[in-house]
């Protein structure tokens, strides 16, 4: 039996979709990498559900963002932050990989720990030497794939959106999420769209990506980003997008445009 023909236009696929699942590695990635896209889709009436692989346990913390008498661990604080961001973006639901319904049948819940990272050079991350055996990058790929397949079969999304093979800036968990998403979509026969990792200030014509601006999303994206007080500081908004400063002091911009392509 021949496979059905899939439109090469990712934007047409999204316009035709009633439900989309987006896969990210940590709390805040949904806002920093795809905030404008998700805000635009939600405003257009598409049901968007998010699955996050880790709890972001290895993230640094902006000085002063957590009160000195705070007793909750960072992962619980970041869960509150992602709940606020998801509400701002208008997402229908969020899930945690390894927790039902994002858990393979018949197995106990799985905890995919944030793998951490180190900077190889400016703008490019690499593996952290401290990543342990329970980290997302070190746990079996098959386990995470099984869990994502379970969520896909539960939701039956029209499309799944994830990272391209560069994983935005090369974070090991982003790259791992790319491979997990590719494997799960191949197994379930679900259409997969990839988000371009190209520099945020550019719109290159290479890589087969189709780019689109998301006017009218700045206020929502800024509010979502501002939910992550432990991870970043919002500096302002200009023609390029939302200006932020990461916990490490790096200035960055959340672009109000997205490049997408249909994965083979």
C-alpha 220/C-alpha 216 separation (Å) is: 8
Q: Which letter does DSSP use for residue 5 in this model?
A: P
Has residue 42 been placed in a domain? yes
Is the residue at 4 inside a domain? Answer: no
Asked if residue 84 belongs to a domain, the reply is yes
Is 140 part of any domain? yes
CATH of the domain at 62: 3.40.50.10320
3-state secondary structure 61-119: CCCCCCCCCCCCCHHHHHHHHHHHHHHHHCCCEEEECCCCCCCCCCCCCCCCECCCCEE
Question: Measuring CA to CA, which residue among 80, 109, 127, 106 is closest to residue 231?
Answer: 80
Residue 160 lies in a domain: yes
* pLDDT value, residue 81: 97
Question: If residue 130 lies in a helix (H) or strand (E), which one and from where to where?
Answer: none
Number of compact structural domains in the chain: 1
Q: What is the pLDDT of residue 106?
A: 97
What pLDDT does 3 receive? 52
∠ CA 243-246-247, nearest 5°, is 150
Q: Is residue 138 part of a domain?
A: yes
pLDDT of residue 1: 43
* Per-residue pLDDT, 205: 58
pLDDT along the chain (264 residues), means of 10: 66 97 97 98 98 93 88 92 98 98 98 82 69 90 98 98 92 95 98 88 71 97 97 95 93 95 88
Task: Say how far apart CA 27 and CA 252 lie, in whole Å.
Answer: 17
Q: What is the DSSP letter of 19?
A: E
Residue 212 lies in a domain: yes
pTM for the model stands at 0.92
Q: Please give the residue range of the domain that contains residue 143.
A: 10-258
């Amino acid at each position: 039996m021949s496979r059905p023909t899939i439109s090469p236009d990712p934007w047409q696929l999204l316009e035709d979709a009633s439900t989309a699942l987006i896969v990210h590695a940590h709390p805040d990635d949904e806002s920093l990498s795809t905030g404008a896209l998700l805000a635009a889709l939600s405003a257009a009436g598409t049901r968007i559900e998010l699955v996050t692989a880790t709890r972001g346990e290895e993230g640094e913390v902006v000085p002063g963002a957590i009160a000195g008498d705070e007793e909750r661990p960072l992962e619980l604080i970041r869960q509150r932050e992602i709940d606020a961001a998801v509400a701002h973006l208008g997402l229908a639901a969020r899930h945690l990989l390894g927790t039902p319904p994002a858990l393979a049948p018949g197995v106990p819940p799985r905890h995919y720990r944030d793998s951490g990272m180190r900077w190889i050079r400016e703008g490019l991350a690499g593996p952290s030497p401290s990543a342990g055996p329970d980290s997302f990058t070190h746990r079996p790929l098959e386990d995470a794939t099984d869990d994502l397949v379970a969520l896909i079969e539960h939701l039956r999304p029209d499309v799944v959106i994830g990272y391209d093979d560069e994983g935005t800036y090369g974070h090991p968990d982003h790259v791992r999420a790319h491979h997990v998403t590719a494997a799960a979509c191949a197994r379930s026969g679900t259409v997969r769209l990839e988000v371009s990792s190209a520099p945020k200030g550019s719109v290159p014509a290479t890589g087969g990506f189709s780019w689109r601006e998301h006017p009218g999303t700045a206020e929502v994206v800024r509010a979502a980003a501002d939910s992550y007080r432990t991870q970043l500081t919002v500096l302002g908004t200009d023609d390029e997008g939302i200006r932020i400063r990461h916990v490490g002091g790096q200035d960055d911009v959340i672009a109000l445009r997205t490049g997408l392509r249909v994965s083979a």
